[in-house]
Amino acid sequence: MAQVQTGKKVFVADRRELSAGLGKKVVVDGKELALFLQEDGGVHAIENSCPHKGGPLSEGIVSGDHVYCPLHDWKISTKTGEAGGADEGCVECFEVEIKDEQVFVFLKG
């Protein structure tokens, strides 16, 4: 069964602008998001602020489905937004749709 997207659909990037292993910051309706192109061609979108001290996750080191905050090396899942290991916290995740190389996110509320 297909996942049903909810919220306001907003264009954020062309997938060809993204590089696997690097994050990209975008601002949508005043909210900073971090986009991450995965090896399989999918894209994850999360809030661009680490739950620890607000570090810019788009500037972190990417390893698979995780990004390491550039400030204090917290490991954040780009799929679930959850901090890993002994770290606690979570960032908001956004549903993504890719159509004809265009990347859209769904903003809640």
CATH number for the domain spanning 68: value is 2.102.10.10
Classify residue 11: in a domain, yes or no. Answer: no
Question: Could you tell me what percent of the chain has a pLDDT over 70?
Answer: 94
Integer Cα distance of 94 and 34 in angstroms:
10
Count of the separate structural domains present in the chain: 1
In a domain, 92, yes or no: yes
* CA distances (Å), origin 32, targets 1, 40, 45, 48, 74: 31, 24, 10, 5, 19
The verdict on residue 102 lying in a domain is yes
Residue-number span of the structural domain to which 56 is assigned: 21-107
How does pLDDT run across 46-80, given as a tens digit for each residue? 999 999 999 999 999 999 999 999 999 999 999 99
Please answer whether residues 68 and 57 qualify as being in contact, where contact means their C-beta atoms are separated by less than 8 angstroms: no
* Local confidence band at 2 (pLDDT 50, 70, 90 cut-offs): very low
Closest of 42, 52, 41 to residue 82, by C-alpha:
52
Residue 101's SS3 state is coil
Average pLDDT over the chain reads: 92
